[in-house]
Amino acid sequence: MAIKERMSGNEAVARAIKQINPDVMPAFPITPSTEIPQFVSNMVANGEVDTEFIPVESEHSSMSAAIGASAAGARTLTATSSCGLALMWEVLYVAASNRLPIMMEVVNRALSGPININAEHSDSMGARDSGWIQIYAENNQEAYDNTLQAYRIAEHKDVKLPIMICQDGFITSHAVENIELIEDEPVKKFVGEYEPEHYLLREDEKMSVGPYAISNYCMEAKRAQAQGMINAKQVILDVAKEFEAISGRKYGFFEEYMLEDAEFAVVAIGSVCGTIKDAIDELRSQGVKAGLLKVRVFRPFPGEEMAKALKRCKAVAIMDRAEGYNANGGPLGAELTAAMYKAKVSAEVVNIIYGLSGRDVRVNDVKDVFNKLQALAEGDNQFGEYPYLGLRSL
Amino acid sequence: MRALTEIRWHGRGGQGAKTAALLLADVAFNTGKHVQGFPEYGPERMGAPITAYDRISDKPIRVHSNIYEPDFVVVVDDTLLHSVDVTQGLKEDGAILINTVMELEEVRPYLNGYKGKVFLIDARKVCMATLGKYFPNTPMLAAIVKVSEIMEEEVFMKEMEESLKHKFAKKPEVLEGNMNALRMAFKEVR
């Protein structure tokens, strides 16, 4: 039986963590993810979980402690945002290359500067090539559901990689919305116990974690790591199928909303997708064939699958909530455009930067994008040379 | 009762406008509605102007933008009238509710010619009579429920009693004062 509740995105993932009852959580607070370790340490104090909570002195330390705990054989997690994630940079790669299935709740927030606390994807997008799986949420429900699926993906023997579960700072992390929770028992059965194959505290197997590798071996280790990410694709789909059986909610690499017969499509990640759906409903009632491709899984990147879903479109707007600072647009734009080229998709493509530092996106902003997409399909580019959505004139 | 009610709160950091918005979402959820309650954060500090929002709907809510054309506006602190355009986008078939000791004719000049209904309440008076301390969010919550008609007074009072009992489980002595504040606020809206 589903439990009907209302809670914020941070409360929702904290509830999922409580149901999972992981072994170790080192964490250092940073807005807007601070509530997550705060809720978990309350649960620890109240004896509601068996988790060992480690207050550390920095995010570099929280990730280092997570690596130690995970290597020892513990089911481990942490949470962070923005500069906190940036401070972990060096050790993110250590977690991934040592094939440690750590879960990290990332509450997406802008990186400095100017200093800003609001939603942006520049933090996790900056870490997109660090070897972590990345799954994004539109709302509190998806943040909860993705958290419950995280360890099943990360710990799978064909994967063994750390995983970021991302949601938009404040927009979902601090908004109270309706949610359907799953009861404890089916969650526990679904998540299961963590039984690592190799770990430091295993008495009958001596091992070393994170040693130097000479060039004769290093490249093979990296190729093996890449295979984990390749394998993650099938595992993500398999886990989603099992999750559907206990929740009734369907997940894949991405969600297609009114995309099947769409002539004009927007591709986006995160909370803005709800706003896009409302805009599409309005446009559809006026006869405009508008659709959405909502990216859920960014790492591994399902480029081929996304390109295939967009192949009938006349014009596509790829929306990035992160500036690439490369004079070429954002990361989703760059990677998806390349995938569409390989798949010989003939649609016109525009990459739009939106929502930086929490800049609000309204239904009307999205309708404007679709209007311009229709013109673009007719050869009239009204987007300009380097499109930013909702930018005030300088 | 509208299929979708959108409310914007104006307050100052520390007065509980965000808490009131979240409480309203809570109560509406308990009566079977789909809700969204969220703050808009600027540089957080005591006394700085803050905005919070509520969407209350019969259907699931997907939109994740702020509210630009609210049905109702709540002003928790009347000193904001000097600096914030509180009626911006406010629908004329809606209403504005202001916590103030001023009379309607004194408030009017701050409302940019707003043609909809204006409701006033002296939340300080309610607080002092019932709580002995100034927590304006409690009476403002009751007052906006009355003004917006999103639920019956009796349903609201019953839900609030449950929720306050839970919230103040360790301080049952404050329950009565809060309930009295809510009840008195219903009568004091003018």
Task: Flag if A117 and B61 touch (Cβ within 8 Å).
Answer: no
Give me the residues paired with residue A52 across strands.
Answer: A24
pTM of this structure: 0.96
Order of all β-strands in the sheet with A176-181: A3-7, A176-181, B34-40, B49-57, B4-12, B72-75, B95-99, B117-121
| B35 reaches A (C-beta below 8 A) | yes
pLDDT of residue B147: 97
Three-state secondary structure readout of chain A:
CCEEEEECHHHHHHHHHHHHCCCEEEECCCCCCCHHHHHHHHHHHCCCCCCEEEECCCHHHHHHHHHHHHHHCCCEEEEECHHHHHHCHHHHHHHHHCCCCCEEEEEECCCCCCCCCCCCCHHHHHCCCCCCEEEECCCHHHHHHHHHHHHHHHCCCCCCCCEEEEEECCCCCCCEEEEEECCHHHHHHHHCCCCCCCCCCCCCCCCCCCCCCCHHHHHHHHHHHHHHHHHHHHHHHHHHHHHHHHHCCCCCCEEEECCCCCCEEEEEECCHHHHHHHHHHHHHHCCCCEEEEEECEEECCCHHHHHHHCCCCCEEEEEECCCCCCCCCCHHHHHHHHHHHHCCCCCEEEEEECCHHHCCCCHHHHHHHHHHHHHHHCCCCCCCCCCECCCCCC
Of A224, A215, A291, A216, nearest to A259 (Cα)?
Answer: A291
Q: Could you read off the pLDDT of A132-166 as tens digits, one per residue?
A: 999 999 999 999 999 999 999 999 999 999 999 99
Partners of B60 on chain A (C-beta within 8 Å) are: 178
Cα A277 → chain centroid = 19
pLDDT of residue B172: 86
Q: Using CA atoms, how far apart are residues B35 and A176, in angstroms rounded to an integer?
A: 7
Residue-number span of the structural domain to which B40 is assigned: 4-188
- Maximum separation of any 2 CA atoms in chain B, in Å: 47
pLDDT of residue B173: 86
Q: Could you read off the pLDDT of A74-102 as tens digits, one per residue?
A: 999 999 999 999 999 999 999 999 999 99
With tokens 């009204």, the residue in question is A382
pLDDT of residue B151: 93
Distance from CA of A6 to the nearest CA of B (A): 7
pLDDT of residue A52: 98
Give me the residues paired with residue B9 across strands.
Answer: B52, B74
pLDDT of residue A266: 98
Which domains are present in chain A? 3-247 (3.40.50.970), 254-377 (3.40.50.920)
Partners of B63 on chain A (C-beta within 8 Å) are: 274-275, 278, 363
Distance from CA of A56 to the nearest CA of B (A): 25
pLDDT category, B164, cuts 50, 70, 90? confident
Partners of B24 on chain A (C-beta within 8 Å) are: none
Spell out the residues 6+ positions from residue B146 whose beta carbon is closer than 8 angstroms to its own. B153, B185, B186, B189
**Mean local confidence (pLDDT), B108-117:** 96
Mutation pick from B62, B66, B67, B170 vs chain A, by most beta carbons of A within 10 Å, is B62
Mutation pick from B63, B67, B68, B166 vs chain A, by most beta carbons of A within 10 Å, is B63
| A33 reaches B (C-beta below 8 A) | no
pLDDT of residue A394: 65
pLDDT of residue B44: 63
Provide the residue type at A55 as one letter: P
Respond yes or no on whether ipTM tops 0.90: yes
Mutation pick from B40, B55, B58, B64 vs chain A, by most beta carbons of A within 10 Å, is B64
Task: Flag if B36 and A176 touch (Cβ within 8 Å).
Answer: yes
Q: DSSP 3-state assignment of B96?
A: strand
Q: What is the CATH number of the domain that holds B31?
A: 3.40.920.10
Tell me which residues of chain A, numbers 257 to 276, contact chain B at a CB-CB cutoff of 8 Å.
271-272, 274-275
Tens digit of each residue's pLDDT, chain A (394 residues): 799 999 999 999 999 999 999 999 999 999 999 999 999 999 999 999 999 999 999 999 999 999 999 999 999 999 999 999 999 999 999 999 999 999 999 999 999 989 999 999 999 999 999 999 999 999 999 999 999 999 999 999 999 999 999 999 999 999 999 999 999 999 999 999 999 999 999 999 999 999 999 999 999 999 999 999 999 999 999 999 999 999 999 999 999 999 999 999 999 999 999 999 999 999 999 999 999 999 999 999 999 999 999 999 999 999 999 999 999 999 999 999 999 999 999 999 999 999 999 999 999 999 999 999 999 999 999 999 999 999 987 6
Q: How many residues does chain A have?
A: 394
| B65 reaches A (C-beta below 8 A) | yes
Q: Using CA atoms, how far apart are residues A107 and A109, in angstroms rounded to an integer?
A: 6
Of A38, A126, A113, A133, nearest to A79 (Cα)?
Answer: A38
Residue B143 · residue B121 · CB < 8 Å = yes
Partners of A178 on chain B (C-beta within 8 Å) are: 29, 34-35, 60-61
| Bridge-based pairing state of the strands A254-257 and A290-295 | antiparallel
A80 to A11, A59, A84, A134, A165: CA distances (angstroms): 15, 8, 6, 14, 11
With tokens 């609001």, the residue in question is A118
Distance from CA of B170 to the nearest CA of A (A): 15
pLDDT of residue B43: 67
pLDDT category, B45, cuts 50, 70, 90? confident
Task: Flag if A177 and B35 touch (Cβ within 8 Å).
Answer: yes
Distance from CA of B190 to the nearest CA of A (A): 30
Per the structure, how many domains does chain B have?
1
pLDDT of residue B127: 96
Q: Using CA atoms, how far apart are residues A82 and A59, in angstroms rounded to an integer?
A: 11
Q: Could you read off the pLDDT of B128-152 as tens digits, one per residue?
A: 999 999 999 999 999 999 999 999 9
Distance from CA of A357 to the nearest CA of B (A): 11
